[in-house]
Each structure stands twice: as C-alpha cells, then as structure tokens.
Chain A
Amino acid sequence: MNILIKSAKIIAPNQSYNQQVKDILIIDGKISKIEDHIKPEIEIKEISLDNLHVSQGWFDCSVSFGEPGFEDRETIENGLNTAALSGYTAVAVNPNTQPVADTNADIGFIKSKGADKATSLYPIAALTSLSHGVDLAELFDMKNAGAVAYGDYQKPIENPNLLKIALQYTQNFDGLVLSFPMESKVIGKGVVNEGITSTKLGLKGIPALSEELQIVRDLFILEYTGGKLHIPTISTKLSVELIKQAKDKGLDVSCSVALANLILNESELEDFDTNYKLLPPLREEADRKALVEGVKHGVIDLVTTDHNPIDVENKNVEFDHALYGTIGLEASFGLLLQEFPLEKVIKILTSGKERFAIPQEEIAVGNKANISLFNPDSSYEFSKSDILSFSKNCAYTGKQVKGKTYGIIANNRIALKSSLSK
C-alpha cells in the first residue's frame, strides 16, 4: 500500500526528526521519504488530519481478547481493530482463554486469528499446563509457535520451586517468565485494597503485603537462579521500591503497572461500582503517586492497559460476584496525557518491545512503516460511545481525557477511525 502522510509532527524523543513537521511517504509498507513537502509522483492515498502527530508504533504488553472461549466478551479480530484505532501497532495477548493457551497448537490458533491485521499480535503462553500452577507447559515448543513470554494470567505461582525451575529452564532459550505478584494465602477472600475503603464498605481487603511478600520471594529466587523475570502490574509504593533495589543490584527484572493503578485510587469504589473491581486492586493515593514516580524515573518499565473485556453478565452483579477487569485501550492515550507530558507519554507507549522480543521500527527512511497517528490537543470526556470493544466494562467512562488517537499504519496496512478515512 502506498500512503502519503501530510504535515505530521513527528514525536520521536532523542531522534533527529523529533518535534519536526514532515511529510512521510510510504511505498509498499516501507518509509521511502521524510521531507518537508513531498509531491506524490504516483496515485497515492493521502492522509491529512487535524493537528496530526505521529510516532513509532505503540505496544501494550497485556491485553485479553477472549478468543477462544469467551468470544461474547471480545474476539481477536475486534480486539486487534480496537487496538489499532487506539494507536497500538503491537499487543501481547494473555493466555486466559478457554482452553488456556498452553500448547503449540493453541498459540498457533491465536497467531493465525491475528494474522494479516494492522496491529501485530504476540501471544503470551501459559507457564503451566492449564494454568494450574503444577507442571510447566511445553515452553520451548510454544516459543517456536510464536509465544513471547510465559505466565498464568493473574494467577500467582504458589510453589516457589516451580518459579525456580521455570527461571532456570527458560535460560536455555532466553525465555521471559511472568510472575503475578500476589501471595494467595495472604489475599484470602479479599476483593479490594485493604484500607479505609474496604473498612467503610465491609468488603474483604487485599493487603499490600500480599503483593510485596510475593515480589520479595520472587526477587530472592531470581537472584539464586538467574533468568529473565517480568513482574506484571505492580500496585504499591513498596513494590516500586523493591523493584528499584533489585535493579540497582543488577537483577534481570522488569515490571509493569496497569493504567488504572496509575490513574485512579480506591476512592472510586465508594459506590460499589464493579467497573472498579480490578486486580491488582485500586490502592491508596500515596501508592498511585509512587507508581507515577516509578514510571517517571524508569523503575517501572511498561504501562499496560491490562485491557480485559468482561461481559455484562459477569459485571452487572453483586460486587463479590463480579469478575475483575476493565477495558482500557481506547482511553489510554488520553488518560496518560493527563498525567505526563507528550514526549514522556510516547516513550511510555513505545517502551518494552525489546523485553518481549518484539521488533522496533523507528520512523526512518528504509524502515517498515510502523506508525501511530494522533492529536494530543483534543480534550473531551471519555464516554461509552468511545468504546470499541464488545464489552463495555470501563473504569474510565466519564473521565476527562486529553488527546485522541486516529489509528495506525503498520504491516503494510492502514487502520483509521471510519469518520476520518478519505
């Protein structure tokens, strides 16, 4: 596909084109020219949009698309389309499907469903068979099928010896192990952060201790075994400190934070709204601020939407019975811009690809076009009509956001919000 992007401000921190307004010519999916003004010599699709900004394509390291098994919540096709129109050119998809993605064939199925789309799909494979936390799944076999990391989504590794073995075994093929930070005995039947809100609402609390205890354990094991450990979605102030100490020590550990924990705190729960029932739970404001600082200073490597569409039947119920999760892809850019300056937001959205062995394509002549398109100056209230996912469980409805995405150009394809396509 041949495309000419007209007058786009390039946001590429630390690169030569940063903050410059350029025309970008894309021929057969590759960037062939970046110049002040380009006159097309052949018939070409022109993209000219209000206050258009572009950057290298964005990556989310934790999304759930339901398929196979929960297609009523979301499908891979609609999930990838949602990601594309939200500015993401790459997503790592969790194995929390039915059946769990724990074999070469499962990974192959997910990959094939995600093939030939603008947004690239990278499966995360289950670490253990059926995600039961007992026996390692065939990790190398799944790597060969396209898996980029291994983890049992939101299920903690209860057995420390299993983590030890996983971290040792994956070193033979440079695998990345995900260990969800939650000590399952300490959490008990908790459903929200243990704090003032749980006390006032009579809901069972999830102590910060349950997360921190597991992180301490995992870091000790990592120090013993070596290997590559990623801790998904930390949520407390002390967790940030623990990760920082481990990195200072030289351990090969990375971590992410969920968008919700970066933007919201536990006060949202006052009304028992199940859209705020999340795992990890929304914590205190002091935790949220520490997470923001952790992102600012690079202690936290990735920010994920932890996009998790849940059907209304599992959300519109009593709080204790509701499933955890919120969607987030559609709102992430606008929410992050409320918290960080534009260049930092772009850094956040483009970081972590290397950790998940995903190709990086900067905006440069000769590179494949892998570009996110957006307008950072449009403020509006995020509403249900902005949701593209099948499921509408959203913790951000009614929140003020700054910045709109137009879509992406990637994989020799273009995905733009329909109202913008010429």
Chain B
Amino acid sequence: MSELSVNHLLGIKYIKESDIQLIFETADQFKEVINRPIKKVPSLRDITIANLFFENSTRTRLSFELAEKRLSADVVNFSAAQSSVKKGETLIDTVNNILSMKVDMVVMRHPNPGAGVFLSKHIKASIVNAGDGAHEHPTQALLDSYSIREKLGDVAGKKVVIVGDILHSRVALSNIFALQMQGAQVKVCGPKTLIPKYIHSLGVEVEMDLRKALEWCDVANMLRVQNERMDISYFPSTREYTQLFGVNKKLLDSLDKEIVIMHPGPINRGVEITSDVADSKQAIILNQVENGVAIRMAVIYLLASKIKQ
C-alpha cells in the first residue's frame, strides 16, 4: 500500500507531488464516506489526537475536529487562551505535558512561522501544521488544489492568481508550492506593499492590475486582508483597497470567460469580494469547506497509518 514520504505534515515544501496525489486519492474515498447517511468509519479507534490551537480559529479547528471524529479518533482540544501558556510555559513543555497523556498526533496552529518544524525536532508524535504564522497552511493548500481538480478536472496547466495580502499569508505560500508542484502557473496580485519583494524567487509573477490578472487566470483565489498581522498601514483604507483589488459581479461579467472564484475564508463581504460574487455559481467557496474535511481525514488517516507501523 502506498504511504506518505513524511511522518509529519509541516508544509507543502516538505512533501512530494506523489504525496499530494496519494492524499487526493484517499480524500476521494473519504468524501464519499462523509456524504453517506452514516458519516463515520472506525479506522482510527486506537488513535488519540490533540488539537493545539495557539491562535484563534473557528473553521480550521472545526474541520479538523470533524475529520478526526469521522475517523473515530479520540480527540482533545486545547486553546492557548485557557492554558498555562499564559502563565509562561514554553511550547515544548506544554506539548510534552499533553503527550505524556499518551497522545499520538498533534494538530497545531501557532502564530510563529516554523513552530511546527521546531516542535518536530523535540517530540515523537506526528504533527500536522494547521497554520504557522505567515509560513504554511498545508491542508488549506491541499483542499484548494483538490477543489480545483474537482471543478476543472486537473490542476496541471491551469492558471491561478492569488489576490490580496500575500505578505502575511500562509495560505498564499502553501498554495504557491502546491500549485507549482502539480504543474499549474501562479501569479499574485495585490497592493505592492503586501507582496513580498522577493516573491519572484519562487517562480511567481506579480500582476499589478486586477483586471489583467483575472483575464489571464482560470482560477482566482481571493485572500482576506489580515489586519491582525499588520504592524503599520499597508494601504490607506478598506474603501480604497476594494476599489483596486475587490472583485464584483460587474467585473466578473465583463471578462470574456468564466473563471472560478475561491476564498479560504472568512470572507469580508464587500471588501475582497462582493456578496453576489461570493454567492454566484462561479464561486466554489463552500465546496472548499466540504473538501477540507475530506482532505484532513485523508492526511490524518495516512499519517496515522505510519504511526501504526
């Protein structure tokens, strides 16, 4: 049986294209499972998973928790707000305390880039990175590619533009790595202040003009402006941001082709996309959410089968 080349999912850049395909094939089966009347399989009855969220999250945590429960894993949840972290405990101590309670796998969201990589050097449990600062959010990139594959048949050869706050986005970085690995072309578009100066070193082109970007692409992935990560104002106002980088129905309809609109959520309606775009048939935003559960089930299942060996 095929297995992943890694023991942790710390980022897309640490896995191979064959891993992505294996995850997709496994997710296909789990997607069928979660659409059955009984949405649960007993695969991971002997596995305990800790969801460690050192940063706020609603949808990602719910998605992971659902994925784990549908695989019949035992699940414990932890969020920094209720923990000893506030009392000054280090990350390694916090996690080791939890692992002493015989936890097999850790799903971790953390505000600092590299936190997952750091932890993987110090603990034995398998780690799934659920987002680490502006570094990576691998399961989001996997579910995004999976959704493109589902909608357009294949990722290879497709043109994808990522629009918005690239500088503070782990979703952008993981998507760039994942899409390129599968043979897609990637451009980014957004305020110059929110695009890393050296993004070209990743083989990514920068498009300044939103209309040109949309005319070029098959898929537009609209990112949220991450105000919470900004130390200064990178643009004067939300109103002006929307004027330059907001997608509305009129703009979409004026293109000479029908492009796919994606968004990792949560959406700021009326900022990066208007409601009529978010709710249009071109948008696959809710499909992304559904696929997120299947992808996370696949990732957890495949990593757990390595633990069982």
Contact = CB atoms under 8 A, between A and B. Distances in A.
Interface in A176-212: 188-189, 194-196, 198-205, 207
A317 B117 contact: no
Among B114, B135, B201, max chain A CB count under 10 A is at B114
Among A199, A201, A202, max chain B CB count under 10 A is at A202
Interface stretch (B42-50, B178-186, B192-200, B235-243): B192-200
Contacts, number: 68
Contact of A188 (B113, B170, B201, B232): B232
Contact of A199 (B92, B110, B198, B232): B198
A271 interface: yes
A318 B112 contact: yes
A272 interface: yes
B114 A188 contact: no
Nearest to B113: A202
B134 interface: yes
Interface string A146-174: 00000000000000000000000000000
Contacts of A200: 13, 173, 201-202
A68 B241 CA distance: 51
A105 B201 CA distance: 52
B78 interface: no
Nearest to B198: A199
B120 to A, nearest CB: 10
Contacts of B115: 318
A71 interface: no
B253 interface: no
A367 interface: no
A198 B199 CA distance: 10
B114 A272 contact: yes
A316 interface: yes
Contacts of A319: 112-114, 118
A201 B114 contact: yes
Contact of B231 (A189, A316, A321): A189
A239 to B, nearest CB: 18
A194 B197 contact: yes
B118 A202 contact: no
Given A272-B118, A321-B112, A196 B198 contact: yes
B133 interface: yes
A362 interface: no
Given A316-B92, A318-B118, A199 B201 contact: yes
A202 B134 contact: yes
A311 interface: no
Interface string B96-126: 0000000000000010111101100000000
A318 B110 contact: yes
Nearest to A188: B231
Interface in A197-232: 198-205, 207
Contacts of A316: 90, 92
A234 to B, nearest CB: 21
B136 interface: yes
Contact of A271 (B117, B201, B202): B117
Contacts of A285: none
A283 B170 CA distance: 23
A201 B112 contact: no
Interface string B38-64: 000000000000000000000000000
A358 B133 CA distance: 47
B119 to A, nearest CB: 9
A320 interface: yes
Contact of B114 (A194, A199, A318): A318
Contacts of B113: 201-203, 272, 319-320
A123 to B, nearest CB: 33
A203 B114 contact: yes
Given A194-B198, A272-B118, A318-B112, A202 B231 contact: no
B91 interface: yes
Nearest to B110: A318
A350 B181 CA distance: 52
A202 B198 contact: no
Nearest to B54: A318
Contact of A320 (B90, B92, B133, B202): B133
Contact of A202 (B135, B201, B232): B135
A188 B173 CA distance: 21
B197 to A, nearest CB: 6
25 contacts: A194-B198, A196-B198, A198-B198, A199-B198, A199-B201, A200-B13, A200-B173, A202-B114, A202-B132, A202-B134, A202-B135, A202-B170, A202-B173, A203-B113, A203-B114, A203-B134, A205-B197, A207-B197, A317-B90, A318-B118, A319-B112, A319-B113, A320-B112, A320-B133, A321-B112
Interface of B: 13, 90-92, 110, 112-115, 117-118, 132-136, 170, 173, 196-199, 201-202, 231-232
Give 5 closest A-B pairs by Cβ, nearest first: A272-B114, A202-B135, A202-B134, A318-B112, A196-B201
Given A188-B232, A321-B112, 12 more contacts: A189-B231, A199-B202, A200-B201, A201-B113, A201-B114, A202-B173, A203-B113, A205-B198, A207-B197, A313-B90, A318-B110, A318-B112
